């Protein structure tokens, strides 16, 4: 099978990971069009074709992407970064009407996952441990035993704008500078990102835990696959509860016997190359599921204790 695929935000780490994953397999021969607002996006030069599109917040964004898809005969579109997810999900009918499948979660899933305060209340109702998020009125009642805390944006990304709060002095400073950020209990312990394999009908096929050994700029810089039954089952349970039906990864911290949910990201992770190298080609599997193709059991098996050490790589283009 041959397929014309578009990957947006082509310069971002997850986009590059998706392009590489689709290029390293032969089951579906993908002709990839990289879409980005920046003509110098690295992903542009890993793909077969380039299409310039505006920023996702720009007027007429979807019209322009649809026009680019028509020009490049795109059959399947893979949105990548947070800002685009909801925009594409909300416009999915327009793409489907044009014969284009969009590999994205339902808008409802994205709305819940991207709102940490809402996710906290949702988890509390569903018996999933989620570090306590203090409401504006609860902040006054924070006790010595509640420290350390963390302050972070309610709809954050890439660990930006976060800080650990060690004591009341620091809290007194930060509570005057909330700016839409939430204050939450800080949980110590190893952190895992679990890549989720879910089909468009919401069935969860697999969960691949990766331990985050070193993080730079919010992305896993060194990681290791962990074939731990408990974390796999946990990932599957949380994914089903959040009704994941597209690309997603779940971040959690294991504190002794307890697993705390930190975040559900309804998108491909920057650490995706490790999952692909371990044997689970997530972008390929999601495309296959979208086209109703059977996913074999061995496509879901992954190598345990595979380490990923990352480094910079350069592309040179002549002007």
Ligand X SMILES: Nc1ncnc2c1ncn2[C@@H]1O[C@H](COP(=O)(O)OP(=O)(O)O)[C@@H](O)[C@H]1O
Question: Taking contact as CB under 5 A, which single stretch among the options 133-141, 197-205, 231-239, 259-267 is the one that binds Mg ion?
Answer: 259-267
46 vs 139 by CB, closer to ligand X: 139
Backbone angles phi, psi at 307, to 5 degrees: -95, 145
154 near ligand X, judged by CB under 6 A:
no
Which residue's Cβ has the minimum distance to ligand X?
Answer: 156
**How distant, in Å, are the alpha carbons of 45, 133, 181, 182, 289 from that of 169?**
50, 19, 18, 17, 52
CA atoms within 13 A on the CB side of 221: 8
Q: Is 17 in the site for ligand X (CB under 6 A)?
A: no
| Cβ 305 to Mg ion shortest distance, Å | 24
Sign for the pseudo-dihedral over CA of 130, 128, 159, 217: positive
With CB under 5 A as the contact rule, which of the stretches 27-35, 134-142, 261-269, 281-289 interacts with Mg ion?
261-269
For ligand X, which is the closer residue by CB, 162 or 227?
162
Instruction: Decide: 129 and 260 in contact? Cβ < 8 Å.
Output: yes
Looking at the Cβ atoms of 95 and 120, the one nearer to ligand X is 120
Q: How far apart are CA 247 and CA 199, in angstroms?
A: 9
Q: 175-204 mask for ligand X (x: CB under 6 A)?
A: ---------xxxx---x-------------
Q: Which of 14, 156, 209, 271 is the binder for ligand X (CB under 6 A)? A: 156
Q: Are 8 and 15 in contact (CB under 8 A)?
A: yes
CA dist 49 and 250 (Å) reads 32
Q: Is 22 helix (H, G, I), strand (E, B) or coil?
A: helix
Instruction: Give the x/- contact pattern for ligand X in 249-268, rule: CB under 6 A.
Output: --x-x--------xx-----
152 binds ligand X (CB under 6 A): yes
> At a CB cut-off of 8 Å and minimum separation 6, what does 94 contact?
62, 66
The reply on whether position 263 binds Mg ion by CB under 5 A is yes
* 157 lies in the site for ligand X, by CB under 6 A: yes
Structure tokens at 215: 């993080």
Contact by Cβ (8 Å): 245, 109:
yes
114 binds ligand X (CB under 6 A): no
Smallest gap from Cβ 304 to ligand X, in A, equals 23
From the CB of 254, what's the least distance to ligand X, in Å?
A: 11
DSSP 294: P
Report the partner that residue 152 touches, choosing among ligand X, Mg ion, none (CB closer than 5 to 8 A by kind). ligand X
Q: Kindly list the residues in this chain that would bind ligand X in the complex (CB under 6 A).
A: 131, 150, 152, 156-160, 162, 184-187, 191, 218, 251, 253, 262-263
Residues at the site binding Mg ion, with contacts judged by CB under 5 A: 263
């Amino acid at each position: 099978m041959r397929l014309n695929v578009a990957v947006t935000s082509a310069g971002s780490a997850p986009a590059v990971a998706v392009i590489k994953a689709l290029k390293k397999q032969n089951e579906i021969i993908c002709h990839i069009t990289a879409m980005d607002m920046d003509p110098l996006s690295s992903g542009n030069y890993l793909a077969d074709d380039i299409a310039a599109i505006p920023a996702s917040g720009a007027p007429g964004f979807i019209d322009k992407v649809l026009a680019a898809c028509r020009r490049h005969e795109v059959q399947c579109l893979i949105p990548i970064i947070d800002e685009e997810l909801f925009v594409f999900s909300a416009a999915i009918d327009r793409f489907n009407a044009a014969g284009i499948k969009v590999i994205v979660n339902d808008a409802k899933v994205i709305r819940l996952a991207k709102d940490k305060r809402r996710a906290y209340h949702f988890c509390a109702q569903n018996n999933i441990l989620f570090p306590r998020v203090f409401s504006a009125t609860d902040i006054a009642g924070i006790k010595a035993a509640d420290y350390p805390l963390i302050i972070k944006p309610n709809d954050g990304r890439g660990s930006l704008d976060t800080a650990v709060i060690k004591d009341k002095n620091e809290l007194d400073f930060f509570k005057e500078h909330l700016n839409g950020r939430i204050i939450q209990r800080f949980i110590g312990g190893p952190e895992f990102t679990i890549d989720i394999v879910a089909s468009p009908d919401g069935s969860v096929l697999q969960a691949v835990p990766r331990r985050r050994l070193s993080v730079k700029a919010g992305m896993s810089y060194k990681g290791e696959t962990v074939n731990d039954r408990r974390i796999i089952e946990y990932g599957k349970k949380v994914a089903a509860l959040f009704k994941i039906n597209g690309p997603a990864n779940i971040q959690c911290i294991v504190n002794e016997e307890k697993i705390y949910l930190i975040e559900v990201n309804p998108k491909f992770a920057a650490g995706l190359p490790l999952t692909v190298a371990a044997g689970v080609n997530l972008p390929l599997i999601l495309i296959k599921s979208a086209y109703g193709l059977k996913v074999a059991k061995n496509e879901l098996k992954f190598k345990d204790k595979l380490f990923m050490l990352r480094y910079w790589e350069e592309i040179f283009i002549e002007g």
